[in-house]
């Protein structure tokens, strides 16, 4: 029996009686849904938290009082209360029980909820909110509205978030449906009339929303995807039935069981557990149908080839992708062109052509494209290339990187005089000798000034490249953010798992990581991305061919920093590094295991037999470089399975930038530390603070939350370091990018790189006061750690179009030291004398008194830090710029 005070009277109400009396609730849109008293309790609990008195037991007691009042007011099974009725009862119950402050907080909470609901309706152009819109944060929905939801010719949004995710899930699930064993055979010995299927491509409009799977209707672009995959499989002899018979079975609901698969993919996205790269969400089930984030093109030293690549780049930008190109095969500036007796203009001039094309061809009609431009260290124009972007306004649509091979590295760290020969692209004839130390110093100084160029370590990339033999040479290019190495005309389909949502609460209220759910999610999402390859409408024929020859996917993660906050594990601690290493190993192990399973039922990737996989080699450095007693999984057994069954995807894992994806998933970016716990937005009425939600909750639970404290954190570079009001245990756990020494940023990237097949999108954050020598030392340490590339960002770099911290009062008041984990690593494992000396010198710290004060920005430089879309401040994370207001990103995948 519950004794509940209601309206001044004591009501004796049986729990069972309450549950049986009110079964449903009338929503604002007139629909009826099941009554759930937990929602009332949660709303009251939030009101209690707002008054800094979070008390779950009291919230539950007050909820029982609300239920008693509802019964007293005559609500029952036949007379269901509305949402407003219940909210009114909450208010009166709180007042009757003497909780006037809580009642006030609840009224404010109710008002704020109404405001948010109205704002969501306005942002999404809806009359009523769909299920996803109700659950997603307003900022998540703003990003969806600005970039992902379909619009009509007038620019008006014409789909809800729920419809968007259904559109994506349905297309991806068609890849499973067409592999149903009743209609598909892996063996490939059946002949079908392919032209019959192809004829349907000319009448797509006639089949718009004519077929459905369960309750999910196929639009004409879904239907196009179905036709194209059928044709491809039929041409391989793998379809047991004709196309008309397939349609007959579809109409007869023979495939309605795949409605469950659609729901599985839909739930992964709408529960913010997994999101594919941006082009997939933008274009799946749409006219463009191009689903890949990144591509690499060739740039041969002839005009026809250059123009072909330029044209292909334009088509890729139009379809929503980004492009990486290695320009090292182009002859240097000033070389004689034999066919015309003219003088070559050099690689940088041809980069300007691609830059202009990028400027005028908007990606998928929604954003400008992104490029990676690479010159290898031996090229005669390398010095000009390095300094090209130190001035503002040059190659603004490019990230640039210098490609490093073993010969340069050997000259740098092993040669006494550092002599290094630049060579002609044509025949590799010697051109002139330079000093490797001077070249790396020039790269470091340029990156110190402008965050570019980055370095790409092609020697490390190709050390365990199992694909070189099949492709006839090493990898020489990457996608725009450098985390995805590709051969010419290859593409990659990326996706990221939100680790912050893979937790469960223990009895004591603390979180623990759900390893079983992680494994299940990896398996589902690997299949998801493999389907994306098949359902993709590639912009260029050569890309279609090359992508399916390798079936390269890039499953990655986001929300790592938020996960560590929830688990109370410091990011840059021994426990933090070991935990992240295990996350990375599990990601690749289970993804490759599922790729083997797919190979059994669907077949291995086309060039698998020509790779080093049959020789028991795998593209995972951790397998070779870490002692077996440090492996968490049986890699030898997995290799044996590959030898027996093959593997479906040449590589499976990549940690890509997740800028806008993280905003949609409402979590931290990639495997990056949080860039700030609190940052400021100035509006006409004053200062407004964005606060990390996990940190905010912990502040409230510990009675520390206040506007004054948030202001202090924002002015402290978004960090809680050395703020006396914050307990020491909290300072250790809630670290930010600026709390972490650059050597620890490298270590974090390194522990992931050990187990990731491709590479990592990561920014090596450095404070304003570092020297170019520190940047150089970071290069040396990165290479020794086995990283495949490095992007350094020194806070407030001049001419860099990003701003790390948004508080105008932000000032560095604390010093950052490398962790003992890093210093022990350097002491034990860095053996090269030159590298050891340079790194040791860089890790010697200056005192706070020696730290130079930041140089104030000019008005012109401030303008350069603004988002080109909404003119709000940008931040720099994962190697590219990101607007936390509208979701603009300088990268393509996120």
Active site residues: 479, 481, 483
Contact 745, 675 (CB under 8 A): no
Cα–Cα dist 32/709, whole Å: 43
Structure tokens at 635: 């890699």
Contact 158, 150 (CB under 8 A): yes
DSSP, collapsed to helix, strand or coil, labels residue 877 as strand
DSSP, collapsed to helix, strand or coil, labels residue 811 as coil
- Give me Rg for the CA atoms of the chain: 29
- Residue with structure tokens 């490797």? 436
Q: Can you count the helices (H) and strands (E) in the chain?
A: 35, 28
Contact 737, 668 (CB under 8 A): no
Cα–Cα dist 477/401, whole Å: 10
Task: Output phi, psi for 695, to 5 deg.
Answer: -60, -45
Contact 229, 174 (CB under 8 A): yes
- By the 10 Å C-beta count (0-12 exposed, 13-18 middle, 19+ buried), 858 is classed as exposed
Structure tokens at 337: 């062109």
Contacts of 692 (CB under 8 A, 6+ apart): 562, 565, 668, 674, 676, 677, 678, 734
Q: Crossing angle, helix 635-645 and helix 574-602, to 10 degrees?
A: 20
Helix (H) or strand (E) holding 295: strand 294-297
- By the 10 Å C-beta count (0-12 exposed, 13-18 middle, 19+ buried), 135 is classed as middle
Contacts of 874 (CB under 8 A, 6+ apart): 801, 802, 803, 865, 866, 867, 881, 882, 883, 888
Pairing of strands 491-498, 553-558: parallel
Contacts of 436 (CB under 8 A, 6+ apart): 408, 411, 412, 415, 418, 419, 420
Contact 83, 19 (CB under 8 A): no
Residue 60's nearest CA partner among 47, 43, 42, 41 is 41
Structure tokens at 177: 């449906």
Residue 788's nearest CA partner among 561, 440, 486 is 486
Give 101's DSSP letter: H
Residue 483's nearest CA partner among 736, 727, 787, 710 is 787
Largest CA distance in the chain: 102
Contact 46, 62 (CB under 8 A): no
Contact 880, 659 (CB under 8 A): yes
- By the 10 Å C-beta count (0-12 exposed, 13-18 middle, 19+ buried), 427 is classed as exposed
C-alpha separations of 620 from 379, 464, 592, 747, 754 in Å:
30, 7, 11, 17, 7
C-alpha separations of 460 from 52, 480, 589 in Å:
53, 19, 21
Structure tokens at 288: 């463009």
Alpha helices in 472-540 (DSSP H): 515-535
């Amino acid at each position: 029996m519950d004794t509940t005070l209601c309206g001044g009277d004591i009501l004796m109400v049986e729990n069972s009686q309450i549950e049986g009396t009110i079964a449903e609730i009338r929503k604002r849109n007139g629909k009826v849904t099941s009554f759930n008293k937990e929602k009332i309790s949660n709303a009251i609990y939030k009101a209690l938290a707002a008054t800094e008195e979070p008390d779950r037991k009291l919230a539950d007691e007050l909820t029982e009082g609300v239920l008693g009042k509802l019964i007293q007011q005559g609500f029952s099974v036949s007379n269901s209360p509305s949402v407003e009725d219940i909210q009114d009862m909450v208010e009166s119950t709180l007042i009757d029980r003497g909780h006037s402050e809580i009642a006030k907080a609840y009224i404010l909470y109710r008002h704020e909820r109404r405001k948010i609901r109205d704002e969501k309706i306005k942002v999404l152009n809806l009359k009523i909110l769909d299920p996803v819109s109700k659950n997603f944060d307003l900022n998540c929905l703003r990003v969806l509205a600005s970039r992902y939801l379909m619009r009509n010719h007038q620019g008006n949004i014409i789909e809800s978030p729920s419809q968007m995710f259904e559109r994506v899930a349905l297309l991806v699930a068609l890849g499973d449906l067409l592999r149903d064993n009743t209609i598909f055979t892996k063996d490939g010995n059946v002949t079908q009339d392919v032209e019959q299927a192809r004829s349907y491509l000319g009448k797509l409009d006639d089949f718009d929303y004519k077929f459905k799977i369960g309750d999910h209707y196929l639009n004409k672009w879904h239907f196009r995807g179905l036709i194209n995959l059928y044709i491809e499989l039929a041409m391989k002899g793998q379809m047991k039935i004709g196309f008309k018979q397939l349609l007959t079975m579809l109409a007869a609901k023979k495939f309605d069981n795949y409605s469950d698969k659609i729901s599985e993919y839909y739930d992964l996205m709408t529960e913010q557990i997994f999101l594919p790269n941006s082009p997939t969400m933008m274009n799946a089930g749409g006219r463009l149908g191009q689903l890949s984030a990144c591509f690499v093109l060739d740039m041969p030293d002839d005009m026809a080839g250059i123009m072909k690549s330029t044209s292909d780049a334009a088509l890729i930008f139009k379809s929503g992708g980004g492009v990486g190109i290695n320009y090292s095969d182009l002859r240097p500036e000033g070389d004689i062109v034999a066919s015309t007796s003219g003088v070559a203009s050099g690689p940088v001039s041809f980069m300007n052509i691609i830059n202009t094309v990028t400027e005028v061809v908007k990606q998928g009609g929604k954003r400008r494209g992104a490029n990676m431009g690479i010159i290898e260290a031996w090229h005669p124009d390398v010095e000009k290339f390095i300094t090209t972007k130190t001035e503002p306004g040059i190659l603004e649509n490019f990230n640039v990187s210098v490609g490093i091979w073993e010969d340069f590295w050997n000259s740098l760290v092993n040669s006494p005089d550092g002599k290094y020969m630049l060579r002609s692209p044509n025949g590799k004839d010697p051109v002139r000798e330079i000093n490797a130390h001077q070249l790396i110093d020039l790269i470091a100084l340029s990156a110190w000034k402008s965050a570019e160029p980055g370095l790409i370590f092609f020697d490390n990339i190709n050390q365990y490249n199992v694909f070189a033999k099949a492709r006839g040479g090493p990898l020489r290019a990457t996608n725009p953010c450098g985390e995805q190495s590709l051969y010419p005309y290859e593409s990659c389909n990326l996706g990221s798992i939100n680790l912050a949502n893979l937790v469960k609460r223990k009895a004591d209220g603390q979180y623990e990581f759900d390893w079983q759910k992680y494994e299940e999610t990896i398996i589902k999402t690997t299949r998801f991305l493999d389907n994306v390859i098949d359902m993709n409408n590639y912009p260029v024929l050569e890309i279609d061919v090359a992508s399916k020859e390798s079936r390269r996917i890039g499953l990655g993660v986001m929300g790592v920093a938020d996960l560590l906050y929830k688990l109370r594990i410091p990011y840059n601690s021994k426990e933090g590094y070991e935990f992240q290493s295990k996350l990375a190993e599990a990601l690749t192990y289970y993804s490759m295991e599922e790729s083997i399973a797919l190979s059994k039922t669907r077949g291995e990737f086309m060039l698998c037999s020509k790779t080093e996989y049959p020789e028991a080699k795998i593209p995972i450095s951790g397998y070779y470089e870490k002692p077996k007693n440090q492996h968490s999984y049986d890699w030898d057994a997995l290799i044996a399975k590959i030898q027996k069954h093959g593997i479906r995807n040449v590589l499976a894992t990549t940690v890509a930038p997740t800028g806008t994806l993280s905003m949609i998933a409402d979590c931290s970016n990639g495997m990056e530390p949080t860039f700030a716990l609190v940052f400021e937005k100035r509006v006409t009425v004053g200062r407004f603070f964005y606060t990390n939600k996990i940190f905010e909750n912990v502040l409230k639970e510990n009675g520390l939350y206040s506007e004054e404290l948030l202001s202090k954190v924002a002015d402290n570079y978004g960090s809680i370091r050395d703020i006396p009001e914050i307990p020491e245990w909290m300072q250790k756990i809630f670290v930010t990018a600026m709390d972490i020494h650059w050597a620890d940023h490298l270590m974090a990237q390194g522990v992931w790189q050990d187990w990731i097949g491709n590479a990592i999108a990561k920014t090596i954050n450095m404070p304003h006061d570092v020297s170019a020598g520190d940047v150089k030392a970071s290069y040396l340490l990165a290479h020794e750690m086995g990283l495949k590339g490095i992007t350094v960002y020194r806070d407030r770099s001049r001419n860099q179009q990003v701003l790390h911290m948004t508080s105008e009062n932000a000032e560095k008041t604390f010093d950052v030291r490398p962790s003992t984990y890093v210093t022990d690593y350097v002491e034990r494992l860095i053996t090269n004398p030159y590298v050891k000396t340079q790194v040791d010198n860089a890790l010697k710290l200056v005192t706070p008194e020696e730290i130079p004060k930041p140089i104030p920005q000019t008005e012109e430089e401030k303008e350069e830090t603004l988002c080109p879309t909404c003119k709000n401040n940008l931040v720099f994370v994962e190697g590219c710029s990101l607007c936390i207001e509208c979701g603009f990103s300088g990268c393509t995948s996120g």
